Amino acid sequence: MFGGGAVEFSGALSINDKQFQSGDENEFPPLTLKGRNSNNRRTRSDSGFEPRHKAADSSEHEGMAKFLSLQDKCSLPSHFGKKAVNIYVPKSVSGESKSKDVVGTKKTDFSEGLPKVERFDICLPRRRAFGIQKVLRPGMVLLKRYISLCEQINIVKTCQTLGVGPGGFYRPGYKDGAKLRLHVMCLGLNWDPQKRKYDKRHPIDDCEPPNIPCEFCLLVRRAIQDAHCLIKQNYIGNVEDVLPSMSPDICIINFYTTNGRLGLHQDRDESRESLHKGLPVVSFSIGNSAEFLYGNQRDEDKAEKVVLDSGDVLIFGGESRMVFHGVPSVIPNTAPRALLAETRLRPGRLNLTFRQL
């Protein structure tokens, strides 16, 4: 392999073995590296080419071994000039079981003949347990069990943290001394039930109301999108005409105790533009179930009724935006046990209503 002239190796490395023919060859100790001639081997010192003594130390032998190892790597393969041999290298890319050959064209599937192993997940899959989804009337959609247990827990804990801080829960009252049978906290802007308008300050502690958490807004938008998908199944046309989209900037949070209630009313304190466009109200129910009445008149006897359970989302907009609605009763001992165990939520119902001013 190292005949009299220069030999070129792959990688554009050229070595001339004549450069190493200096001095008496017998002065070099024989090398016994496998697959290599021990003749005509020389090494280079810092001061030029010098003959070395037979008693060279082991470090010099190691240097020569490294050189020959490098020479091995640069040499042409042993099968050079012979028929090409197929070399297969399996891919390490996830999801691909078949490998591609490097030299040849034949493909080999290393998974052939091997049993397929189905891995075991020790945790149950997290699936959204949708209940009945239906359009109650044009622009009014009910998404049963839409909010997952984890999301409900997060909502309760977030409301608890905000509720005990500035601008938190309070029980609204009127000048005559009457009080609502629920506790209220507002996010974004504060709603004054006596003035029936929104303010930037809390009526009790004069604080600015907390901002609406981002995850609440994302859940509202997702619910509206899913409501649109439901409406499209039975409606030909622009779904925005039936139920417009909206970006919430107000959230009124009501907590009803087991004897709490709210009479039939309309949500009409938003801006004239918002009401004219029919921008929807999106309602989250957490905790105990409640009876919910809705209708075109302020008459409980003529109103329709539906039960809202923990995790339900109710949306009403479009031509249903001005519907009369109310909560005549809360059903005791109906909250999910896992929710109560994780949050220690008081007996009652937490209701969040989102709207755009």
List the binding residues for Fe cation. 265, 267, 325
Complete edge-to-edge strand list for the sheet that includes strand 140-143: 133-137, 140-143, 313-316, 281-287, 348-355, 250-257, 183-187
Report how far residue 131's alpha carbon sits from residue 244's, in angstroms, rounded to the nearest whole number: 23
CA dihedral 301, 307, 312, 315 (to 10 degrees): -20
Q: Residue positions in the annotated binding site? A: 265, 267, 325
User: ∠ CA(320), CA(324), CA(328), 5° rounding?
Assistant: 135
The residues facing 354 across adjacent strands are 251, 282
Beta carbons within 10 angstroms of residue 227's beta carbon: 28
Question: Which letter, b or e, does each residue of 336-346 get, where b requires 16 or more Cβ atoms within 10 Å of its Cβ?
Answer: beebbeebebe
